[in-house]
Structure formats: C-alpha cells, structure tokens
Amino acid sequence: MMKKILFAISSAVIISACGGGGDTATAEKPLKDTFPLYCTYLYDASSTTIGFGAFKFTEKKEVKGGFLKFSVDSTSTSNNIIDIYEIFHNAKFSISVDGLDTKDQGRDYNIKTSFFGQMKETASITGKVIDLVDGKDSGSDLIVSLKFNNVENQVALKVSLVDNVLTLNGAINLNDFKAQKALSSLNKTCKDLHKGSDGKSVTWPEVNIYVSTTLKKNFPKK
C-alpha cells in the first residue's frame, strides 16, 4: 500500500505566499472581501528538465546530457507546496530516447544506436511514482518505478524544494537493468573516445539522474 506523507504548514504562511491582500476597513470604506485567496500548486511541464550524467575513463569523468522529449501525466494539485506527494502520487512519465541530447551529434548517434539500439523495447523509458519516503535527517526520497530494456526497478530520488523549484537527484546502475550487453556495445563503438590517461577504455554502468521543475501557483478566480 502506498504510504502518503503529509507535511504541515501554518495557514499564516500559506496566506503570506498566496493571499489576495484584502481591503483595510476605514470610516469611509467598509471592510469587504477580507477572506484570503488560497492558491494551489501544480506541475508545470514547460519548466521541467530531465538530465543524466554518464561516466567514462578509469578516473570516472562525468559526461552530462538530457532528454528533450518527454511527458508527465496524471499529476494533481495541492494547497501546500511542500506536499510533493499530493501533486505527484499518481504521476506517470514517458521519456523518448529519440529526444536524447548531449550537445554532440556524434555522441547522440552512438548512444541511440550502440546503446539503446541494443536493448529490448526501448524507444521510450517509462515509469511512475510509487511513494515518498521521509528519511528525517537525510531528507525525503521520491520512489519511482523506472522501466527500460524490458526491466523494471524502483529508484530513489532525493527531494529538494527551494522556493518553488523542485529538484530530484538519484542514480541507477545499468547492470540492474540487464544492460551489460548494450554498455559493452557502446564501449566498443567509443573505444578510443573512452580512453583515459592510463590508456584504458572504460564505460561505467553508473548513471546519475537530474530532474528539475518549478511548481506553478494557481490562483482561484474571484
């Protein structure tokens, strides 16, 4: 059963962030419409970025990239900006491999053909939100189910919320997705490009995940 974790926030803080600023009563102007206008918070696709960091060389140099084509469906709204689970508890996502972008066309081609092209049913990376786990001193983790190469695993993404900006950071091991063959194929294609200072060609199975989005305020109509 999914565990829903709610965070408490005082009404004074909500009113400060979202209040409508009612009229002040004077002898000439009677008080009216003094109730606060509560906003809700929702997912904003236009502000979202999905990135990754892969590693090459024995010294493990990170090479970053991202995906420009993706969709996130079945999100909800929340009266409380820090209640991340309320917004994303039903969320499902699909990331198109065709939208891969590392700012290098040759590298993009090699990854699409020699890596993803060697997998099963991986035109898209798909997944859904499973849970939000409170780690207390270590912060909270958003647990997502991630599927590619016809293998599905749960991944923990560390949650950070600063103002309205939500970031999710985590890591996967490609061996957990049975991608050893695809990784070997990529390393063979990029053999010379993945040689470090020691002359060895290495492509690591660890991949970092970087997600960022801005939670959008939605004010009710008067």
Q: How much of the chain is in helix, strand and coil states, percent to nearest 5? A: 25, 40, 35
**CATH topology assigned to domain 45-218:** Lipocalin (2.40.128)
Which of 122, 189, 123 lies closest to 151 in space, CA to CA? 122
- Residues in contact with 54: Cβ distance below 8 Å, sequence separation at least 6, in sequence order: 62, 63, 65, 203, 204, 207, 208
CB 203 within 8 A of CB 57: no
Give the rounded distance of the alpha carbon of 205 from its chain centre.
20
Helix (H) or strand (E) holding 35: none
Q: What is the pLDDT of residue 37?
A: 53
Instruction: State residue 13's pLDDT score.
Output: 35
> How is residue 65 written in tokens?
């990239």
| pLDDT for 178 beyond 90 | yes
Whole-number pLDDT of residue 83:
84
Claim: this prediction has a pTM higher than 0.85:
no
Helices (H), 100-201: 105-110, 180-189
Q: How far apart are CA 50 and CA 66, in angstroms?
A: 6
Separation in Å, CA 122 to CA 43, 45, 88, 182: 26, 23, 24, 11
Mean pLDDT of the chain, nearest integer: 85
80-139: pLDDT as tens digits: 877 888 999 999 999 999 999 999 999 999 999 999 999 998 899 999 999 999 866 667
Provide the pLDDT for residue 20: 45
% residues pLDDT > 90 (the chain): 69
Question: What residues does each domain of the chain span?
Answer: 45-218
Measured CA angle at 26 (ends 22, 32), to 5 deg: 35
Confidence band of 4 (pLDDT split at 50, 70, 90):
very low
> Quick one: pLDDT at residue 2?
39
pLDDT interval class at 221 (50, 70, 90): low
Q: What is the pLDDT of residue 15?
A: 34
Q: Is the pLDDT of residue 181 over 80?
A: yes
The pLDDT, as a whole number, for residue 134 is: 82
pLDDT of residue 8: 34
Are the C-beta atoms of 39 and 220 separated by less than 8 Å?
yes
Residue 78 has pLDDT above 80, yes or no: yes
- The confidence score (pLDDT) of residue 17 equals 45
Q: Report residue 22: phi and psi, to 5°.
A: -65, 170
| pLDDT tens sequence across 12-58 | 333 334 544 444 444 454 444 444 557 788 999 999 999 999 999 99
Share of the chain above pLDDT 70, in %: 80
DSSP label at 84?
H
Q: Please measure the distance between the N-terminal and C-terminal CA atoms of the chain and give it in whole angstroms.
A: 39
- Residues 53-77 have a mean pLDDT of 96
More confident residue, 189 or 24: 189
- Give the strands of the sheet with 77-78, arranged side by side: 77-78, 40-42, 216-218
What number of CA atoms fall less than 13 Å from residue 124's CA on the CB side?
11
